[in-house]
C-alpha cells in the first residue's frame, strides 16, 4: 500500500528552528542551540509525517525531541506540523539516521530512542539496507545514557525476531516484548491537546495496522548499566 500524497504546506509558515538539513545542522552537538536548554533528549528514527513527534513533545514538555527523517518532503511536512503547534521542544533533522548517530551524537547524550515501523526492505538482496544492523546498535549503545532505552515497533515478524537477536548480541537487555492486535477505536492517553490528530495512534503506520487488524510487534531494550 503506497503512501497518500502529503497536504500542501503553507508557504508563509516559518520552519526555522524546526527543520534542520544535515549540512546546516549545528556542530559540534549543542542542545542549547536547538532547544535553548539542557533536558533529557528523545530521538525518533524515521519520523515520517511527524505524528509521534507532535504527540510526544506536547505530552512531555520536560523532555526534548529530535526526529530524524531522510526524505526531504516528509522532514519538511513533520517540521511544519511542529511549527503549527508552536512546540519549543521538538525539531526535525533531514538526514540519514545512521550518520546522525555515528557522526553527530556524543557518548551518553540520549535518554530514549524510538524506532517505529522501520522500512523492512522486503527483498533479500536489499536487507543489508535495514536500519537495524550491528553497527547502528553499537552507536545506539554508545550514545544512550546508562539505563537508556530503545522502543522498537514493527509489523514484520521476521524483522522483529532478527532485531531482537541483534540487540541481545549488542549488549542490550530486553525488558518488554508484546504482539498486539488492537482495533481502531481503542484509544490511548485520554484527551488530546488542541491541534493534534485524533484516534489515539502514535504513528500513521500504527493507524494503518489497526484498521487492517494486523499485529504490531513491540519491544523495549535497555542499555546495561
- The answer for residues whose C-beta is within 8 angstroms of residue 74's C-beta and 6 or more apart is 6, 47, 48, 49
- Rounded distance between C-alpha atoms, residue 163 and residue 159, angstroms: 6
- Rounded distance between C-alpha atoms, residue 208 and residue 202, angstroms: 11
- Rounded distance between C-alpha atoms, residue 117 and residue 180, angstroms: 14
Catalytic residue, from 96, 119, 139, 161: name it: 119
Active site residue 36: no
What DSSP state is assigned to residue 5?
A: P
Radius of gyration of the chain (CA): 17
- Rounded distance between C-alpha atoms, residue 7 and residue 74, angstroms: 11
Residue 152 falls in which region: left (phi positive, over 0), alpha (psi -120 to 50) or beta: beta
Q: Which residues are annotated as catalytic?
A: 119
Amino acid at each position: 500500500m503506497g503512501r497518500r500524497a502529503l497536504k500542501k504546506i503553507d508557504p508563509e509558515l516559518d520552519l526555522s528552528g524546526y527543520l534542520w538539513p544535515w549540512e546546516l545542522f549545528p556542530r559540534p552537538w549543542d542542545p542549547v542551540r536547538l532547544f535553548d536548554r539542557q533536558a533529557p533528549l528523545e530521538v525518533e528514527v524515521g519520523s515520517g509525517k511527524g505524528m509521534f513527534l507532535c504527540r510526544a513533545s506536547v505530552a512531555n514538555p520536560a523532555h526534548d525531541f529530535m526526529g530524524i527523517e531522510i526524505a526531504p518532503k516528509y522532514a519538511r511536512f513533520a517540521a511544519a506540523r511542529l511549527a503549527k503547534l508552536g512546540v519549543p521542544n521538538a525539531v526535525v533533522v533531514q538526514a540519514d539516521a545512521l550518520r546522525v548517530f555515528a557522526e553527530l551524537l556524543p557518548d551518553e547524550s540520549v535518554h530514549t530512542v524510538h524506532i517505529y515501523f522501520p522500512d523492512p526492505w522486503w527483498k533479500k538482496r536489499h536487507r543489508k539496507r535495514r536500519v537495524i544492523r550491528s553497527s547502528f546498535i553499537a552507536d545506539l549503545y554508545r550514545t544512550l545514557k546508562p539505563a537508556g532505552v530503545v522502543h522498537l515497533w514493527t509489523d514484520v515478524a521476521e524483522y522483529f525476531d532478527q532485531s531482537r537477536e541483534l540487540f541481545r548480541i549488542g549488549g542490550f537487555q530486553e525488558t518488554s516484548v508484546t504482539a498486539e492486535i488492537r482495533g481502531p477505536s481503542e484509544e490511548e492517553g485520554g484527551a488530546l491537546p488542541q491541534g493534534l490528530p485524533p484516534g489515539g495512534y502514535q504513528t500513521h503506520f500504527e493507524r494503518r495496522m489497526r484498521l487492517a487488524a494486523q499485529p504490531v510487534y513491540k519491544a523495549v531494550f535497555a542499555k546495561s548499566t
